[in-house]
């Protein structure tokens, strides 16, 4: 149980610090990737544990970035997880690809699975145990993982000739929603690379769909309390849409 939660929480540390856009090493093949800018009107399907799952986009602005850009996003996914899909605004994708200095993605999202448990058939009773564990131990686990993950993350940043990033302890925003097969909570994280400081709001959701456990993340650059309300709304509507698409 704890391993599942750790895989989930590691992403909060690694992805929120990551997409401060300094990926100057992006390959030319990725820069030319036409699918990164394509809008697909139909609901796309992705595999999790060998099971095909339909995943709608989070909202009208965010599109699935395509295979090549997902590969770049994968750089910042902990090794314990696998990135299934990634979402950005179409206007932001070229800036992400070019690695614009000091560019913060205003809004983006991703869905991941834990590699170790990807093929596990998750019953509703199992899912309820995961949720109960999160509710009981989230604060302690999140603070511990944040502290332990910073050296590993910065080692990866150094290997790519990117600035090291420091993490403040995340601020919990409480439960966003709790329902059958979905549980979500909010996190506020502040990071700095010595040149600039940025704060992200994260809607973090466990979703059980077709007996697979998805880690669903919605990120937005924090401006004020309306950002939190926006993330909460998108997160819940997205979870409902994913579950409905797979009934």
The pLDDT of 58-85, averaged and rounded, is 91
214-225 pLDDT tens trace: 999 999 999 998
Q: Does residue 3 surpass a pLDDT of 80? A: no
pLDDT at residue 40 is higher than 80: no
Instruction: Work out the average pLDDT over 193-204.
Output: 89
Indicate if the pLDDT at residue 180 is higher than 80.
yes
Q: Where are the alpha helices (DSSP H) in the chain?
A: 2-18, 28-31, 67-74, 93-98, 124-159, 225-245
Mean pLDDT lowest for which of 55-69, 81-95, 108-122, 189-203?
A: 189-203
Let me know how many helices (H) and strands (E) the chain has, helices first: 6, 10
Q: Which residue has the higher pLDDT, 7 or 146?
A: 146
Q: Exposed/middle/buried for 240, CB within 10 Å: 0-12, 13-18, 19+?
A: middle
Looking at residue 36, its pLDDT comes to 42
- The predicted pLDDT at position 35 comes to 43
* CA–CA distance, 113 with 66 (Å, rounded to integer): 18
> Domain spans of the chain?
2-245
Mean per-residue pLDDT for 117-140? 88
């Amino acid at each position: 149980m704890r391993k599942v939660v750790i895989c989930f929480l590691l992403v909060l540390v690694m992805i929120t610090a990551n997409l401060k856009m300094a990926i100057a090493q992006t390959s030319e093949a990725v820069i030319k990737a036409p699918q990164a800018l394509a809008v697909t009107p139909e609901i796309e399907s992705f595999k999790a544990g060998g099971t095909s799952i339909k995943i709608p986009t989070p909202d009208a602005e965010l599109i699935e970035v395509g295979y090549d850009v997902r590969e770049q996003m994968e750089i910042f996914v902990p090794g314990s997880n696998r990135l299934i899909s990634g979402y950005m605004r179409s206007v932001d994708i070229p800036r992400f690809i070019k690695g614009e200095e000091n560019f913060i993605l205003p809004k983006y999202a991703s869905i991941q699975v834990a590699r170790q448990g990807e093929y596990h058939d998750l019953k509703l009773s199992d899912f309820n145990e995961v949720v109960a564990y999160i509710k009981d131990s989230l604060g302690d686990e999140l603070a511990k993982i944040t502290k332990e993950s910073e050296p590993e993350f910065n080692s990866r940043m150094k290997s790519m000739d990117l600035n090291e990033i420091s993490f403040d302890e995340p601020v919990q925003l409480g439960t966003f929603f709790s329902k059958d097969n979905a549980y979500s909570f909010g996190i506020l994280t502040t990071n700095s690379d010595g040149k600039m400081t940025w704060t992200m709001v994260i809607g973090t959701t466990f979703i059980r769909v077709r007996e697979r456990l998805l880690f669903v993340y919605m990120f937005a650059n924090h401006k004020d309390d309306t950002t939190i309300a926006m993330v909460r709304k998108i997160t819940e509507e997205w979870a409902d849409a994913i579950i409905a698409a797979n009934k």
